[in-house]
């Protein structure tokens, strides 16, 4: 299907429709918005997971403890556990996007990007006509100021807190 192949970041000038995902993003709502923008445009579809370091920051505090959901004694929250939670969030998002792409019969790319990697972000959004679809709460993050400097269209999707919570808790959209 033309225009629907896996893009290679920075290797071509084809427009991209990017979905900005976080651990609490309602993937289904963002996906639907991306599909509406894709239409017959021939743009590449990229799911962009914006990796945060909040788990690592929490683990670096000497008093941070983890309280198991099913009860039991709390334990020290370690950097190893922080990395595990981070990796699980990425894998959960990757799996949901892959399922949605399979249902829609679309190829896509999945990129993990640290918010501090401004160069890679600019590279991904450099193609003329690129659109970044992001949850509205992204405006509260430092990355948003950088996004506004780039030459791309940003579409903010107003998301409900309950939709965000459902995706985070269950690992897949409603």
Walking along the chain (174 residues) 10 residues at a time, the average pLDDT comes out as: 42 79 88 87 88 73 73 75 86 95 93 83 83 89 81 84 43 37
In the DSSP assignment, the letter for residue 11 is T
Our count of domains for the chain comes to 1
Q: Is residue 6 part of a domain?
A: no
pLDDT in tens, 78-115: 888 888 888 888 999 999 999 999 999 999 999 998 87
* Owning domain of residue 121: 16-51+93-170
The pLDDT of residue 99: 96
The pLDDT value given to residue 174: 33
Question: Considering the domain boundaries, does residue 63 fall inside one?
Answer: no
Q: What pTM, to 2 d.p., does this model score?
A: 0.73
Mapped onto helix, strand or coil, the DSSP state of residue 27 is helix
Q: State whether residue 55 is helix, strand or coil.
A: helix
Assess if residue 135 is contained within a domain: yes
In a domain, 115, yes or no: yes
Output the pLDDT for position 113.
Answer: 87
The whole-number pLDDT of residue 161 equals 55
Residue with tokens 């445009």: 41
Q: Tokens in use for 7?
A: 């893009």
CATH number at residue 129: 3.40.50.620
């Amino acid at each position: 299907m033309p225009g629907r192949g896996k893009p290679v970041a920075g290797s071509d000038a084809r427009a991209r429709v990017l979905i900005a995902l976080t651990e609490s993003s309602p993937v289904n709502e963002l996906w639907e918005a991306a599909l509406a923008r894709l239409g017959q445009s021939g743009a590449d579809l990229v799911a962009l997971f914006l990796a945060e370091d909040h788990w690592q920051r929490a683990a670096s505090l000497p008093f941070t403890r983890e309280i198991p959901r099913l009860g039991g004694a709390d334990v020290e929250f370690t950097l190893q556990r922080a990395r595990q939670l981070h990796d699980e969030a990425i894998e959960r998002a990757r799996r949901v996007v892959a399922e949605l792409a399979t249902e829609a019969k679309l190829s896509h790319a999945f990129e993990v990007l640290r918010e501090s990697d401004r160069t890679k972000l600019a590279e991904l959004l450099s193609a003329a006509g690129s659109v970044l679809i992001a949850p509205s709460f992204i405006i509260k993050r430092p990355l948003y100021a950088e996004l506004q400097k780039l030459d791309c269209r940003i579409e903010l999707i107003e998301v409900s807190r309950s939709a965000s919570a459902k995706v985070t808790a269950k690992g897949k959209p409603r």
